[in-house]
Structure 1
Amino acid sequence: MEQRPPYPPFDRQTAIEKVRKAEDGWNSRDPQKVSLAYSIDSRWRNRTDFVSGREEIVGFLTRKWERELEYGLIKELWAFGGNRIAVRFAYESHDSTGKWFRSYGNENWKFNENGLMTVRHASINDLAIAEADRLFHWPQGRRPDDHLGLSDLGL
């Protein structure tokens, strides 16, 4: 049986841990690795896309990170209760022409007893930014522990 701790029901500490693990996974930009945090039959709504199951998750994330270059993400816990977590997030990336964007959003997550996410609803808005206005500066991979979070950045 696949398991992905921490498990629900979440308290503040385990919810924060779950959010950071999700952020770290997405910052790896490895669609196969990221998909393992979701149940086999996980359902997503991401903007106008509806995704069902790990195979579609891998395809969705592969296409996403082919378009959104130098992707860097910060997530922050918004609320939690039982087997659900709400987060707010922002990420920066550029397109193939070099135009930079900061994308802001909220996600609602639902987990099974094994800690796998079964439902993900994401609402996201994009803002074109100048490269000089970027706030997320770290090499590909995990955000360093000393890098400011969303609230500290005024986002």
Structure 2
Amino acid sequence: MSRPPLPPFTRDTAIQKVRMAEDAWNSRDPARVALAYTEDSRWRNRSEFVVGRAAIVAFLTRKWEKEHDYRLIKDLWAFDGNRIAVRFQYEWHDAAGQWHRSYGNEQWEFDDAGLMRRREASINDVAIRESERRFHWAAPGPRPADVAGLGDTPE
């Protein structure tokens, strides 16, 4: 199975890869997201370690059972060969209705077929008021073209 664009990445293909990942995660469909990873993909997500597509699906299922109305924006930070680094923010609320904005960085490594074989994510959560939310679009679904990326979003 191949998942273009393939490494080595150019600026344009790295941006394309980041947007594809953002769109998939905004679908909140664990099975769809997992198809972008190798069968034996290795993750570090915060302090949790995940190995393989089945574990990725289980992890994402748990994640989106907790993180309601999830909306994510990812931006390319750097790229080289078969590696991409991104920064991201996402907003969600818990079962009690408390909104959060999660800030993070990820490092990705791809195989020759364009599947991600390694993902390392460092993430921090900040409680916010609903009035402080920045990401407003129908969800689940991709970020609309008229919603700015992080470079245009005040910290």
Alignment gaps of 5+ in structure 2 = none
SS in 1 for 2:138: coil
Which residue in 1 is equivalent to 2:117? 118
* 1:81-108 deviation per Cα after TM superposition (whole angstroms, max 9, x unaligned): 0000000000000000000000000000
Which residue in 1 is equivalent to 2:66? 67
Which residue in 2 is equivalent to 1:151? 151
Which residue in 2 is equivalent to 1:88? 87
Paired AA for residue 5 in structure 2: P
Q: Tell me the TM-score normalized by structure 2.
A: 0.99
SS in 1 for 2:64: helix
Give me the CA root mean square deviation: 0.4
* 1:21-56 deviation per Cα after TM superposition (whole angstroms, max 9, x unaligned): 000000000000000000000000000110000000
Give aligned pairs, total: 154
Runs of 4+ in 1 over 6 A off after TM superposition: none
What is the rounded CA distance, in whole Å, between the counterparts of 1:67 and 1:4 in structure 2?
29
Q: Tell me the TM-score normalized by structure 1.
A: 0.99
Paired AA for residue 86 in structure 2: V
What is the rounded CA distance, in whole Å, between the counterparts of 1:15 and 1:148 in structure 2?
18
Q: For residue 120 of structure 1, report the CA deviation from its aligned partner.
A: 0.1
* 1:41-83 deviation per Cα after TM superposition (whole angstroms, max 9, x unaligned): 0000000110000000000000000000000000000000000
